[in-house]
Every structure is written in structure tokens, then in C-alpha cells.
Amino acid sequence: MTNTIERRAAELEVRAKGRTLEGYAAVFEQRARIVDFDEMIARGAFADTLKAGDKLCLVDHNTEKLLGRTRNGSLRLAEDTRGLHFEIALPKTSLADDVLALADAGSLGGASFGFIPTRETWQGSLRTLHAIDLREISIVSAWPAYPQTSVNARSAAFANRSDLARRIDFLDLGGF
């Protein structure tokens, strides 16, 4: 384990209620291919981190594109049986207006999270994350890192490409 911040993505299930978006930044027990290994997030992996420190909601992991934070209550995070659920009350800013317009059009790529793994196990090439130091969640405009949890807006042509080709495109677009 290192102190390097890692990023992962999941499907954004947008439910807009006024200026509020909600969805899942992470889903438990879903195997995902990450470069040369598989990864799963165990139930309860976020339990400790949700009790400590301020968490941010960003656009595309960019700290200059802040949408909200737990410290002021605009971002609410909770673990449930499915995964890490979030609800963000969007501020009245041009950035938030753009995010809301993309959400309404079904054009967002998904949700993601930046983290440092604090407890993990390996079984062959499968990494299971048991405890995570969550730093931020992000609304992502391109493709999420987990191809099997992508938003329906992704084109069929992109989905049918090889995993390597999708990852190269993802990295070319500034993915992590």
C-alpha cells in the first residue's frame, strides 16, 4: 500500500430533485478490471472514513471545480447495502448549472471517487479493498474507470471496443 491517491468510477444514477443530484460513487462486491488486476470493494470499506474529515464533491477530480463538501452539509455520504451513496445539493454557480444540464440530458459519464487504500487483501490477481481513506467523490464528464458500470449515454461503438482501447481513450481524455 502507498499514500498515492487512487481513483475509481461507478455508474451515476441521477435523480434530480430541484438542484440535488444523488447516486452511487462506489458499488460493493462488483469485480472491476483495473489495468492488470481485478478489484472489489468490500461492504463496510467506507465506514471509518465517513466518520472523519471533510469530503469534497468535485467535477472530474479537479479541486478547482468544487460542487460541495460534507463540512457544510451540501454533500451527504452514506454506506448502504449497495455501496457509497451520495446526495449533493448543487450551489447556484455556472459550474453547477452546467453539471445539472448535462445530468438532465443524460450526458454525464458517471461518478468516481479518489481514495487511499488503508486495508486490502490480495488473492491471486484480485485485490479486495476492506478500508478506504476517502478524499473526494467526483461527477465525471467522460468515461468512468469501471467499464461494466458505465452510464447508458456511452455509445455502442465505444462499448464494443477492446478493454485496452477503451483505457487508452480514457487516459487520453485525462482519465486517471
Paired sense of beta strands 56-59 and 126-140, if any: parallel
pLDDT in tens, 102-112: 888 888 888 88
Q: Is pLDDT of 154 > 90?
A: no
Other Cβ atoms closer than 10 A to 59: 19
pLDDT in tens, 35-92: 889 999 999 999 999 999 999 999 999 999 999 999 999 999 999 999 999 999 999 9
pTM: 0.76
SS3 letters across 60-96: CCEEEEEEEECCCCCEEEEECCCEEEEEEECCCCHHH
Residue range 128-157: mean pLDDT, rounded: 65
Predicted confidence band of residue 96 (pLDDT cuts 50, 70, 90)? very high
pLDDT at 53: 92
- The cell for 37 is 488486476
Domain ranges within the chain, ordered by starting residue: 6-172
Q: Is pLDDT of 169 > 90?
A: no
Q: Is pLDDT of 175 > 70?
A: no
pLDDT at 50: 97
